[in-house]
Structure 1
């Protein structure tokens, strides 16, 4: 079981309130990602759940039991940090078993759990090596293994992939997602990378300045962002946001259109523009187009290689069914 409920949870450091009162429910077995810009409070919120920070007000319940004042070690949670925090003089086996030895668990049970975790994480052949003999991705798997052996009610990940290079991040992203499917255990994952959030989460919690801006599945947030902040944060490249007369004609203060929902023509279209910098990614190409009457260039996504070059005049037509409208307060207009 791993249902976690936050009721009016608030955190302040002195007179500075970093997390205003918020409510959130994480269901048993969910993979929930906290995402937002640096300083939005996502790591602080995770540490409150873990018990590494004291709650200023409110209540945290784990499987229905009030855990607000329960010490971290007794909450039944396991945390994986950004740094691997491995003991360099110990073997992989001893690093993974360390929390079990501290709990004075029966040696036979320690061995069983360590070998089971190593099998899940493909570390069986590395159990007798030391951390210095492993790659970054393998070290992170060891840190995860140390959490797995505790058989927690939930795993808490605090930006665990930020120390890895791009290729390893993709690989570990898939491994952690696969691990969640195999263990069927609640996981809470903190990241500032919205691509990680979109590809891994069952449910995303978007935070800004300690406030929850929106909670929902990746596709819910992508298709129906609640406000301008979520619209501009979720999606890569981000949504094009347009103000002025074009927005007013749609009965809105701001309209949004994603790069893939704009068609391109060299002959005619709704918006005339000049091609600026292009980004060729093989399967996709992104054009940055300066359009008449718009203060910011639009990003347009097209497939593969197209015969369009810097300085060309092109015409853009947005898919009317995919336009997003926002009012003067930045809230979505249904």
Structure 2
């Protein structure tokens, strides 16, 4: 079991309050992603759960038991860091088995768990190699294997893919998601990449300045962001946020419309604009437009075959059923 509850958990460094008191429950078997900009407190929150940082207030419960003052090694959690932290002189087999050896497990049990983890992670044929003979993705799998063999109640991932190139990140993202399906163990994953959050999570926790802005499934956050911060953070490309007279026409201080919910035409539409840079991605094309009605450029997502010349005059029409309305404080208007 791996249910984790945070009750009024807070963290301060001297007079600096990094995490104001917050409540959060992560259900057993859930894949929860902490996402937010750099410095929002997501890694600090993960370290509070792991016991690598002492809480300044509140309590951490693991399966209903108070773990607030329990040392990290006794919490039944396994952490995977951005750095692989492998021993270069040891084989893959010995690296994976190291925590079991330190725990005093007998040789047969060590071998059983290592073989099982290696099979899950497709590392069986690499067990006798050393880390220097592996790719970055393979090294990260070894680090994950070292966590798996501990058979923890929950896995904690702190930006584990940051050191990988783009292609490897996509591959590892799928492998970690597949691993979760197989193991059905609670996983908490920290990232600043909202694409990782959207594609991997059962539940996303959006953080800003140590505060939880919104908690929900990826589609809940995409369809009903609670404020302009979440609206502008979740989605790629991000939601267009429009203030001023154009927003007032819809009875709001700010309106939001996602790039895929704007129709672009050379004929007619609600807003006139000029085509700036176009990004052709094959299946999609992103047009960045300059509209006299708006202070900032606006982005439109269109099918890949659509093409407009730089500087061309075009017209935009929002699909009003997908329009989001926010008040002067940035909160959602229902």
Normalising TM by the smaller chain, what interval? over 0.9
Q: Provide the TM-score with structure 1 as the length reference.
A: 1.00
Question: How far does residue 241 in structure 1 lie from its aligned partner after superposition?
Answer: 0.5
Which residue does 2:237 correspond to in 1?
Answer: 237
How far, CA to CA, are the matches of 1:139 and 1:213 in structure 2? 34
- Consecutive unaligned residues of structure 2, counting only runs of 5 or more, are none
Question: How far does residue 78 in structure 1 lie from its aligned partner after superposition?
Answer: 0.1
1:292 aligns with 2:292: yes
Is the 2:93–2:128 contact (alpha carbons within 8 Å) kept by the matching residues of 1?
Answer: yes
Which residue does 2:91 correspond to in 1?
Answer: 91
How far, CA to CA, are the matches of 1:307 and 1:92 in structure 2? 51
SS of the residue 2:58 aligns to: strand
Q: Mapping of 1:1-334 within 5 angstroms? A: 1-334=1-334
How far, CA to CA, are the matches of 2:292 and 2:71 in structure 1? 60
How far, CA to CA, are the matches of 1:41 and 1:269 in structure 2? 43
Deviations 1:263-312 (A, max 9, x none): 11111111111101110101100001111211111100000122311010
Runs of 4+ in structure 1 deviating by more than 3 angstroms, as ranges, are: none
Question: How far does residue 145 in structure 1 lie from its aligned partner after superposition?
Answer: 0.1
How far, CA to CA, are the matches of 1:254 and 1:98 in structure 2? 55
SS of the residue 1:294 aligns to: coil
SS of the residue 1:260 aligns to: helix
Number of corresponding residues: 334
How far, CA to CA, are the matches of 1:78 and 1:297 in structure 2? 44
How far, CA to CA, are the matches of 1:193 and 1:293 in structure 2? 31
How far, CA to CA, are the matches of 2:230 and 2:43 in structure 1? 19
